[in-house]
């Protein structure tokens, strides 16, 4: 217990606590939850998430008289906030390109489907890119935007892999994740089902359905 408290104090001191800044940028209000530190100890608290273009922080409410405790992902294994569960993943590879690390060295993944096949969602804040108009002028830089990436563990023994967005890469590399369902695998490899059909693919695979009979509306019921 003393070790856990010491680790928490060290995290708080090393990360700094800027109350006004984090209150403005925090995502949502504090909700009841719990988090597991890298040493395996579990702690309850009122939590919320904060993101910017460089990092994601888990904030623990310390009451009105104190700044929030800010926990970096490197010091965590996972957490849940309200009804949502998250895992901290390290070096998630891109499907078909094991050396690629599209989510960086460490990332926070929201659990959206559990079972034999596990699905996670990664939400990252990035700088928006302006559009180039005639004459070489840049417009529409704007503020940061959210980029969503699906992450899959097709079986308990498999590694986590991020799903590519391009149709060609999707057909080449995602089909192999569902090789034990040949009919579905073949349709993906042929390009008949692409990135926009991801939920339909997961639904068909999980329930061994003919994907051509799985509507987008039905697929949307498997996870938000």
Confidence of residue 129 (pLDDT cuts 50, 70, 90): low
Confidence of residue 8 (pLDDT cuts 50, 70, 90): very low
Identify the pLDDT of residue 110.
95
Look over the chain and give the mean of its residue pLDDT values, rounded to a whole number. Answer: 83
Q: pLDDT tens digit string along 40-99?
A: 999 999 999 988 888 889 999 998 878 889 999 999 999 999 999 999 999 899 999 988
Domain boundaries defined on the chain:
1-82, 85-224
Would you tell me which CATH number, out of the four given (3.40.50, 1.20.120, 2.30.30, 3.20.20), belongs to the domain 1-82?
2.30.30
Contacts of 61 (CB under 8 A, 6+ apart): 30, 45, 46, 47, 48, 68
Q: What is the pTM of this model?
A: 0.79
Confidence of residue 223 (pLDDT cuts 50, 70, 90): confident
Identify the pLDDT of residue 133.
47
- Using DSSP bridges, classify how beta strands 84-90 and 106-113 pair: parallel, antiparallel or unpaired: antiparallel
Helices (H) and strands (E) in the chain, counts: 6, 13
């Amino acid at each position: 217990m003393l070790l856990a408290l010491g680790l928490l104090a060290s995290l708080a001191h090393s990360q700094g606590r800027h109350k006004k800044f984090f209150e403005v940028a925090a995502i949502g209000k504090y909700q009841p939850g719990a988090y597991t530190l890298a040493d395996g100890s579990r702690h309850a608290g009122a939590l919320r998430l904060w993101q910017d273009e460089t990092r994601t922080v888990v904030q623990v409410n310390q009451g009105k008289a104190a700044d929030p405790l800010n926990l970096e992902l490197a010091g965590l294994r996972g957490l849940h906030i309200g009804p949502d569960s998250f895992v901290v993943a390290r070096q998630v590879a891109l499907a078909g390109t094991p050396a690629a690390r599209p989510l960086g060295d460490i990332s926070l993944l929201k659990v959206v489907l559990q079972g034999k096949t596990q699905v996670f969602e990664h939400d990252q804040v990035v700088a928006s890119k302006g559009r180039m108009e005639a004459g070489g002028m840049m417009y529409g830089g704007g503020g940061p935007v959210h980029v969503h990436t699906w992450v899959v563990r097709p079986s308990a023994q498999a590694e986590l892999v991020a799903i590519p967005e391009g149709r060609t890469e999707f057909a080449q590399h995602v089909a192999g994740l569902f090789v034990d369902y040949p009919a579905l695998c073949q349709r993906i490899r042929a390009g008949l089902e692409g990135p926009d059909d991801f939920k339909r693919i997961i639904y068909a695979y999980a329930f061994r359905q003919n994907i051509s009979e799985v509507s987008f509306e039905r697929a949307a019921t498997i996870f938000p």
